[in-house]
Structure 1
């Protein structure tokens, strides 16, 4: 039977005794039909080009990562990091060696003259070729940065393979669509710990994002009574220079050692840091330190550019900290200054920009020239512009004026956590995946795709709500919703296809990468035994405020919560995405708990059944609820009586399926169509992988539950090659079988739910009798409850 593999379905492999084994198709499979060509490995972002082969290579603890004797120190560092990361993520112990690669090795080399198809020169730095054949993996990169990208791809392939050791045979040529793929984090208004920043750098690199802009100073927007002496304001770098004593924020600032650790982490991850020191607006940290250089005697967050000392001071700040920064560019801010002081503003830009270049740094600014002066005329031309708003300086306007531009559209790419503007609950990953690319900018300011002036894109998180209590981990929950989709659209555009759920499956499979344990994974899992509610669409009858939105109850972060209005008849509803067999729920109440409530389920969102009730609760607690297994798509907490004068407030709602006793258990079959369609794939809780038999009627597949268990329900998810007639059988010893259910005259593919009298058994088998097609039998899933 000829079918196309989905991207990322690795061919089955067996670990070799030696370094690695090229696994050819079996003779039996070859006799049954042609062996399928490997589809592209599922990685994030998707590969640009893939030519599939047949079979796979399984790396072992005898495999080496080999570099040439003349390899650069950076390439050797990448080889060592690949070995460390592979051990962390897969358990493989890959040694690093110098010399000639042998069968079973991973060869890692750079060749600036290598051919990577007709890609623009500005994209070649990160290009690489991955060739898997003859029992080895060969990586050829255009540069050390390209080698890092290739290593990240190889890690993802290994992590998402079934045995976490295998790489499908084939060749990839990969490169980005844009040279800059970034993210900006405002730490000026809210301090983020060094561990968070290092974790983010690693996470970004794993997704091939290559630029982190750190907004190092800022202040609240509207201080009470317009009294800037009491406004929140911070500068986040702490110098030992006595001239700057008192400038660094007391609630958190980074030392030179902290910044060095960021730079080291970034170099290993292939990420460039862009420090941003923002002036002449957003400068309350500077006007508080030096009131004499601020407007209104320092009662302002604007520098007084009519005072030459203001420009002189900012020159000293850039001179002091530029030596900290190893990247090529420094961002000077330059946004939202007083429109009545255009001439002073223009003179400031034209003075600071050459000063910063004299410190060895390229200069970046926020786009403001249209609002300030109608366009770029008269401004320094050697600048790169983050275009964020059409009125201030749209993407097309800035490019037409001759500036290199970065898309930071406020309408599409800004997040202000928990605000009622600028995506307070995070960007919509599906919307990014389906409708956005880096050249897309609202209000007629889009450019053509890969416009020569367009460097790429940079979404931004602005912590405007300085008095709203939230944590860096809560911010991560907002960012993670869309980061993978952004990374995909910046690297290879639509190459991941159009199915967002399949894309999310790949995101889950590859994970967040090495060294990111500090960051919770908020995207959930497809495993039936995990929380089925995690990351699912969640709605409520009411919400106290945007900060306490319904989605917080299913985001996987214990610190966040949903909170309702202060009335009794309130509810929270989770959409599991499809009808699932469920049997338990967990509700983690905040202080505003429910005294009385019902747990209800529905398959259609209209007809509801109460499966459990709670009455007379006396305080907040984590409520574990079990009920008779039932099919449902929607799960609702229906409040009856509040336990406090406040509303209802839940940190978490979790829903779990009826335990699948067969998940991950050893499986065998009478036959397998190919080495990529093995029996175990029917029991991996992955709705995209499958077992497929040889082309004959009397074929079977069975699972060993490991011990005698009581079973009463089996669910079989048939692929197109379904069974017309089959028996469901159980056994205590794997030899003597008893039929507990039968299906006859089935006419199409789909799902069979077979309920039968509870029976003790260790083995469960689907015994085919008559095929429904001319092919064999094929199952996506085989669940035992």
Structure 2
């Protein structure tokens, strides 16, 4: 068993190795059940995610009989983009060799593919739908996003080779089903990102978080601070094109600018804002949040990204600023003793003489949260230093907690964050971290498709780091969503094509788990043979 390094390259890299933190031994953290879902009835066709309910019936209808996509109902005209995308994908998948006419009509034919927005009491989520393929093909949903979900299921049904008749009644359990992509350290081309979005949409994932800023780079053009953009980066025009493409596929794109840690790249251009401790230790990647100019620098960058992106959430980072338990309390790590300027700032901003460096950190994140909220975004931060009950202040409970880590059982649980008023996102670093390391893809006992499919659920949070145990969120505590994270600690370890190839199965099993339906089979091996081979990948 490896010990954690004394130096601090990245706790994300530490988790990539699947090592156990020595001080966690013997804590008796409860372990998750290895069977997080039941079987679907054997008559269900191979679909991914599996449907919530499927009822066989009717003879089915050969897709070659279809000549039109008929849009019906009060919102018929709003469905033209979904219809056009379905028609295109049917041709790309080789299911049709003729053009489908898209029209609005009150009298669809039996051979039409019918799309409609309608009230559906049996579907409890706006992204749910009802798909009938018994006598004609009809997709009904309470929203355009639900209709789009139904078209993805139709594509999978048709590509599986059969023409099953029946009714699918389906909906997601989680509002957000996401992937985080580290474009701060590795360049991914616009076409590659679009292909990723297509695949996510095919699997009914609905959110892409672009991690723009990291210690090695900044992945998007900046006009307010052009010096910070990496040599290879997305231009603003390319970002807008990606956003348009994502919108057509009902995928939200959230910006992610990490601070006050992980700022080596940005602060290399602004060393005057690097944190210098009492003993003279300079931390190239840490922002001195007591400096007005330092806070203004980050505000300008964040505000520019607010104006570029149109998602509903802005991720403000906040991770790895204070030391992990294994780093100790020496003069070279951030503490009240080593960074008195943070304490002075905390007391100034709170007016409380008992304020600490933690209160300075909370004030900093609350300031940024107010900025993005003013631009219409919900703020979100990593959970590292959300510490309910500590200090004289607190992180605004309207800020969402992205829960990736729990170092040991002395730290708050996901339930503690929920009790403090924070909405929860599950990004469990023991399962959901796809990490490019110097040795290739990061390993761990459960950090792989099998671990995700056979053990993890959206309510399975980290119980203690290093795969030392799971924490099952009690019933009654809601989870907004969950995300896979693609971290590029060693960006040259894989090409973007190799990332796509290796990530494919991670996406597939994750999509099943976050949809929340009963699993189609018990094991990953069965899923590969019974479902994945039939479902295939997004038409391209």
Q: TM-score range by the shorter chain?
A: 0.7 to 0.9
Task: Show the counterpart of 1:481.
Answer: 505
- 8 Å CA contact retained: 1:427, 1:482: no
1:67 offset after TM fit, Å?
Answer: 0.6
Unaligned residue ranges in structure 2 (runs of 5+): 1-38, 323-333, 336-356, 464-469
Q: Deviations over 1:208-254 (max 9, x none)?
A: 111111111111xxxxxxxxxxxxx2111113x3x32212111x111
Secondary structure of 1:478's counterpart equals helix
The two structures have a TM-score, normalised by structure 1, of 0.55
- 8 Å CA contact retained: 1:426, 1:482: no
CA distance in 1, matches of 2:66, 2:60: 17
- 8 Å CA contact retained: 1:437, 1:493: no
Task: Show the counterpart of 1:160.
Answer: 160
Match of 2:189 among 185, 189, 193: 193
Q: Deviations over 1:33-72 (max 9, x none)?
A: xxxx992221111011011114221122543111137536
Unaligned residue ranges in structure 1 (runs of 5+): 1-6, 9-36, 220-232, 516-785
Q: CA RMSD in A?
A: 2.6
**Match runs of 1:734-749 below 5 Å:** none
1:474 offset after TM fit, Å?
Answer: 2.0
- 8 Å CA contact retained: 1:185, 1:215: yes
Task: Show the counterpart of 2:359.
Answer: 343
The two structures have a TM-score, normalised by structure 2, of 0.78
Higher relative contact order (CA closer than 8 Å, sequence separation 6+): 2
Distance 1:60 1:176, change over 3 A: same
Higher helix share: 2
- 8 Å CA contact retained: 1:488, 1:496: no
- 8 Å CA contact retained: 1:416, 1:424: no
Task: Show the counterpart of 1:133.
Answer: 134
1:290 offset after TM fit, Å?
Answer: 2.0
Task: Show the counterpart of 1:145.
Answer: 145
- 8 Å CA contact retained: 1:367, 1:393: no
Task: Show the counterpart of 1:410.
Answer: 429
Aligned residues: 452
Q: Deviations over 1:250-279 (max 9, x none)?
A: 1x1111111112112211222111110111
**Match runs of 1:280-359 below 5 Å:** 280-296=260-276, 300-338=284-322, 339-340=334-335, 341-359=357-375
CA distance in 2, matches of 1:394, 1:57: 51
- 8 Å CA contact retained: 2:359, 2:394: no
- Does residue 434 (structure 1) correspond to residue 454 (structure 2)? The answer is yes
Secondary structure of 2:380's counterpart equals strand
CA distance in 1, matches of 2:110, 2:391: 60
**Match runs of 1:173-572 below 5 Å:** 173-219=169-215, 233-239=216-222, 241=223, 243-250=224-231, 252-296=232-276, 300-338=284-322, 339-340=334-335, 341-370=357-386, 374=390, 378-391=394-407, 394-418=413-437, 422-423=442-443, 427-443=447-463, 445-448=471-474, 451-466=476-491, 468-505=492-529, 506-515=531-540
Q: Deviations over 1:478-518 (max 9, x none)?
A: 32232211111111343313143332132122211123xxx
Distance 1:454 1:236, change over 3 A: same
Task: Show the counterpart of 1:80.
Answer: 84
Distance 1:309 1:437, change over 3 A: same
- 8 Å CA contact retained: 2:387, 2:412: yes
CA distance in 2, matches of 1:442, 1:159: 37
Distance 1:370 1:334, change over 3 A: closer
Q: Deviations over 1:390-409 (max 9, x none)?
A: 13654222112221111111
- Does residue 104 (structure 1) correspond to residue 111 (structure 2)? The answer is yes
CA distance in 2, matches of 1:72, 1:302: 52
* Bigger mean CA offset, 260-269 vs 58-67: 58-67
Distance 1:372 1:215, change over 3 A: farther
1:376 offset after TM fit, Å?
Answer: 11
CA distance in 2, matches of 1:256, 1:291: 26
Highest CA radius of gyration, 1 or 2?
1
CA distance in 2, matches of 1:287, 1:72: 52
- Does residue 57 (structure 1) correspond to residue 61 (structure 2)? The answer is yes
**Match runs of 1:66-77 below 5 Å:** 66-68=70-72, 70-71=74-75, 74-77=78-81
